[in-house]
Amino acid sequence: GELRAVRSVTLTAPNLFSTVQVTRLAPLGSLAKEKDLIVEFDDSERRASLEETLLEVEQIDEQIKKAKADLAIRNNQDQVDLLRQRYAVRRAELEVKRNELISAIDAKKNLLTLEEAKRKLAQLESDIKSRREQAEAQLAVLQETRNKSMIDVQREKQRIAQSKVLSPMTGLVAIKQNRSGFFMFGSQVPDIREGDTLQPGMPVADVL
C-alpha cells in the first residue's frame, strides 16, 4: 500500500536577487518541530549590501546634522544683519525729521539715505528668505534620500530573514531532488545537498 501525508507543506528557495547556495539542510527523514530550521541559504551578499546601505544612512545623517548646524548659524547671522539694517533705517528716518532745520541739499541727502536704507533692508529680507528656502529644500532632499535608504535597509533585513527557512508545522522532512542541473537520460537525479546552488522559487523540501 501507499502512505500519504494528511498535510504537507513545500518549502522553496527565497528570492535574494541572485542564485542561492544551501549552507545548512535538515537531514532527510528527520522530525522537525514547528519553527525548526529546515534549510539555510548563504546570505553573505545580502549582509554586505545591508552594511553598505547602513553606512550610506550614517553619511546622510552626518550631512543632515551639518546642514541643520549651518542653517542655525546662518539664521543667527541673518538676525544680526536684519537688526543692524533696521537700525540704519530708523536712524535715517530720524535724520529726515530734522529736514526742516537744515539746508535743502542736506535734506535731499537725508531722503536719499533713507530710501537707500529701506532698499537695502528689503533686499536683505528677500535674500534671507531665499537662503532659508534653499537650505530647507536641501534638507528635504537629504531627508527623502535617507527615507529611501531606510526602505532599502528594511528590504535587506527581510531578505536576510528569508535566508533561513523554518518549518511551519511539526512533521517529517523530505528533501526534494535537485533538478537545476543537466542529467543524462535515465540517470538518477540527486537530492538537494548542502553546497548546492538553487534558483529562487525552486522547491527544496517538504514537511509531511
| Maximal C-alpha separation, the chain | 125
Report pLDDT for 63: 95
Mean pLDDT, all residues of the chain = 91
Report pLDDT for 97: 87
Residue 28 to residue 206: CA distance in whole angstroms:
10
Report pLDDT for 172: 93
Residue 117 burial by Cβ neighbours in a 10 Å radius (0-12, 13-18, 19+):
buried
Per-residue pLDDT of the chain (208 residues; tens, 9 = 90+): 787 888 999 999 998 877 889 999 999 999 999 999 999 999 999 999 999 999 999 999 999 999 999 999 999 999 999 999 999 999 999 988 888 778 888 889 989 999 999 999 999 999 999 999 999 999 999 999 999 999 999 999 999 999 999 999 999 999 998 877 655 555 678 888 999 999 889 999 999 9
Backbone angles phi, psi at 166, to 5 degrees: -100, 155
Report pLDDT for 34: 93
Of the chain, the end-to-end C-alpha distance in Å amounts to 18
Report pLDDT for 52: 95
Residue 153 to residue 55: CA distance in whole angstroms:
10
pTM for this one? 0.71
Radius of gyration of the chain (CA): 36
167's grid cell: 518549518
